[in-house]
Amino acid sequence: MIRTKLCEMLGIDYPIFQGGMAWVATAELAVAVSEAGGLGIVGAGQAPAEVVRAEIHKVKAATLRPFGVNVMLRSPHARTVMEVVASERVPVVTTGAGNPGVFMPMLKASGTKVFPVLASVALAKRLSRLGIDGIVAEGLESGGHVGEITTMALLPQIVDAVDLPVIAAGGIADGRGLAAALALGAVGVQIGTRFVCASECTAHPAYKQAIIEARDRSTVVTGRPTGHPVRVIENHLARKFLKMEAEGAPADEMEKLGVGKLRAAVVDGDVRDGSMMAGQVAAMVKKVQPAREIIREIMSQADQTLERLRTL
């Protein structure tokens, strides 16, 4: 089985991070992934600090394995969530949608390893000087808030720009994707969409079913004009956003329309008017299955892929 220096660095068996998806990545999913030998990550999203603390306690009660918390930096609770993460001595933090620089001293002091999720080389270079432990390079194939560069193009550029372990995210759902990421210089991958369809994931069954039914062109990016591009499975809400954008609707009106819509999709299963965040690989997700099985399939397919490459 493939092992990389990421495994030694974090004490995990397989070089797989589970994406820290808001509402989706609860303690249940994180525990299942960590117990299966990957790195389970609780997605703090916009949750208040005490809610995140309760999730961390649930994880600690269920597994002794390493785990992480993703802090969404655009959350109004980002600072207090970081304080909780530091005081709980969470082993790994990933960050999204912003620059985690101001939190570095606090996280270093608590011994937390920090892996910012980034979509550009410039920020990777800047943060590499602040003591981060690695970078998750996220291409525009991913679900949710996205950058402008594909994983294929971004990953080797970040690998070349920094002297840090780089983890690939966006567009990876199976062992071929893991092998490709390793070929481009990554030491591991972060996978989101496929783990939405883990049996242990508490997301609504209708949300999982929409991912399973997705095809190659089922996702679209809304919010580009407002500066907050988000990849979702196209539905009634997404079409409404795209129409408003085309008509030049004011940004604040569209921001208002988005409030609560991710929860509606993930928790209530509102596949029509909810924000169905998912990556372009949704079409590659075929069924709901246990996290352990997902990881086993990915690892064995990555091994087979590397073997095949030697005999081309």
Residues that bind ligand TUI (CB under 6 A): 22, 45, 72, 96-99, 117-119, 123, 138, 144-145, 147, 228, 230, 262, 277
Nearer Cβ to ligand TUI (98/274): 98
What is the rounded CA–CA span in Å between residue 129 and residue 263? Answer: 36
Work out how close the CB of 66 gets to ligand TUI at its nearest, in angstroms, rounded to a whole number: 21
* Residue 206: both structure tokens together: 């209708």
Shortest Cβ distance from residue 72 to ligand TUI (Å)? 5
How much is the CA Rg of the chain, to the nearest whole Å?
A: 18
User: Is-contact 170 96, C-beta < 8 A?
Assistant: no
Best CA proximity match to 92, nearest among 175, 154, 33, 162? 33
Contact 14, 7 (CB under 8 A): yes
- Amino acid letter at 212? I
Helix, strand and coil content of the chain, in percent to the nearest 5, comes to 45, 15, 40
Classified as helix, coil or strand, 286 is: coil
Q: How far is the CB of 46 from ligand TUI (least distance, A)?
A: 7
Of the pair 96, 177, the CB lying nearest ligand TUI is at 96
CB of 65 to ligand TUI, least distance (A): 24
Q: 257: exposed, middle or buried (C-beta count within 10 Å: 0-12, 13-18, 19+)?
A: middle
CB closer to ligand TUI, 1 vs 259 = 259
- Least distance in Å: CB of 30 to ligand TUI? 17
Select 37 or 98, whichever has its Cβ closest to ligand TUI: 98
Tell me the C-alpha to C-alpha distance, in Å, between residue 140 and each of 41, 74, 82, 287, 302: 21, 19, 26, 24, 22
Closest CB to ligand TUI: residue number: 144
Cα distances (angstroms) measured from residue 305 to each of 18, 19, 173, 178: 21, 23, 14, 9
H or E stretch covering 32: helix 27-35
When the beta carbons of 45 and 274 are compared against ligand TUI, the nearer one is: 45
Least CB distance to ligand TUI at residue 79 (A): 15
Q: Considering the complex, state which of residue 20 and residue 165 has its C-beta at the smaller distance from ligand TUI.
A: 20
CA separation, residue 264 to residues 79, 139, 207, 226 (Å): 25, 26, 10, 22
Distance between CA 25 and CA 32 in Å, rounded? 11
Q: Which is nearer to ligand TUI, 7 or 73 (CB)?
A: 73
Min. distance of Cβ 113 from ligand TUI in angstroms?
17
Shortest distance (Å) from residue 231 CB to ligand TUI? 8
Q: Which residue, 6 or 25, has its beta carbon nearer to ligand TUI?
A: 25
Nearest residue to 223 (alpha-carbon basis) of 303, 304, 277, 294: 277
